[in-house]
Amino acid sequence: MAVRFELPDDHSHVALVTIDRPERANALDPPTLRELAASWERIAGDPEIRCAVVTGRGDRVFCSGMDMKATIPEAQRLARGERVSPEVFEGLRAVSTALLAGFDLATPLVCAINGHARAGGFDLMLAAEIRIAVPEATFALEEVALGLYPTGNSTVLLPRQIPWVHAQELLLSARPIDAAQALEVGLVNRVVPADELLDTAFDIADAIASNAPLAVRETRRGVRELLGVPLERAYPLQEEFGRPLRRTEDAAEAARAFAEKRSPVWSGR
């Protein structure tokens, strides 16, 4: 398996997804794309999973993007109208879901960036709400150097997440930045030593998963949907998102738990 999916016993309601092709710089070939897409579909469809963590195997690369030998030539053949195998076609068809480009995970995602994040790996990182990186990580969007348009998340999400000038430099220069620069421009939340990476990611994921699941999901959705909405429309929409939550069993449980000085037990209803 090129992608490992785990539900760690010591991290309740948290899923761990690991891209497991270190010998190929965790590059995305068609089977890996299919497996990665299947992992996201499983998480999106399981209300018991309240947060997910994604990382790469090894100590050098998080994800180098599309496999230049196994994926790019096949994609070019398909673009020319040539026949590809059914397995390859399914992998290419899964690209958008695998990169979470237009596919809503509906669940908060923490990205543990264990090394270089390039091209499609950068795109996948952009879909995460929280990002933790090791000092050795680098970040680059190299599509324009290959004569390609970056069709994942980068032209859609990057200018919404970091200042315009930094987004344009990454997109147009194809030059990498290091972890310190990524932290400075707000691309990542924090930089930690490699031996603390997963512990830090799980600490955040556990904190998210410990909160009321409906409230977390709706807050995540609200932030995404209200981004770019004019203020006069955003405030009424915010009320629309929040009103149903005040009538949930979890809201009542939170009030009871506060009065009884105990931790709430969430039902997700």
Type of residue numbered 55: T
What is residue 80's predicted lDDT score, i.e. its pLDDT?
Answer: 80
Residue 91 has what pLDDT? Answer: 79
CA-CA distance, 12 to 143, in Å (whole number)? Answer: 38
Q: What are the structure tokens assigned to 156, written together?
A: 């859609």
In the numeric block, which tokens belong to residue 111? 């990205």
In the CATH scheme, what is the homologous superfamily, with its name and number, of domain 3-209? 2-enoyl-CoA Hydratase; Chain A, domain 1 (3.90.226.10)
Displacement of CA 225 from its chain's centroid (Å): 17
The whole-number pLDDT of residue 157 equals: 95
- Residue stretches of the chain with pLDDT short of 70: none
Map out the domains of the chain as residue ranges.
3-209, 213-260
Please give the pLDDT value at position 267: 86
Q: Nearest CA to 121 among 113, 129, 133?
A: 113
What is the model's pLDDT at position 255? 87
> Which residue(s) pair with 178 in the sheet?
138
Equal fold, 3-209 vs 213-260: no
Cα–Cα distance measured from residue 138 to residue 140, given in angstroms and rounded to the nearest whole number: 7
C-alpha–C-alpha distance, residues 101 and 37, integer Å: 11
Dump pLDDT digits (tens) for 236-257: 999 999 999 999 998 888 889 8
Which pLDDT belongs to residue 110? 98
| CATH code matching the domain that covers 213-260, chosen among 3.40.50.300, 3.50.50.60, 1.10.238.10, 1.10.12.10 | 1.10.12.10
The encoded tokens of residue 219 equal: 């807050």
pLDDT tens string 88-97: 778 788 999 9
Q: Chain-centre distance of CA 16, in angstroms?
A: 12
What per-residue confidence (pLDDT) applies to 230? 93
Q: Please report, to the nearest 10 degrees, the dihedral formed by the alpha carbons of residues 172, 181, 112, 70 taken in order.
A: 30
- What is the predicted pLDDT for the residue at 174? 95
Residues 6+ apart with CB under 8 A from 63: 19, 25, 26, 27, 28, 56, 117, 118, 120, 121, 124
Q: Give the pairing type, strands 138-140 and 116-118.
A: parallel
Predicted TM-score (pTM) of this structure: 0.93
Report the 10 Å Cβ neighbour count for 240: 9
Q: For every residue of the chain, which 3-state class applies, written as one string?
A: CCEEEECCCCCCCEEEEEECCHHHCCCECHHHHHHHHHHHHHHHCCCCCCEEEEEECCCCEEECCECCCCCHHHHHHHHCCCCCCHHHHHHHHCHHHHCCCCCCCCCCEEEEECCEEECHHHHHHHCCCEEEECCCCEEECCHHHHCCCCCCCHHHHHHHHCCHHHHHHHHHHCCCEEHHHHHHHCCCCEECCHHHHHHHHHHHHHHHHCCCHHHHHHHHHHHHHHCCCCHHHHHHHHHHHHHHHHHCHHHHHHHHHHHHCCCCCCCCC
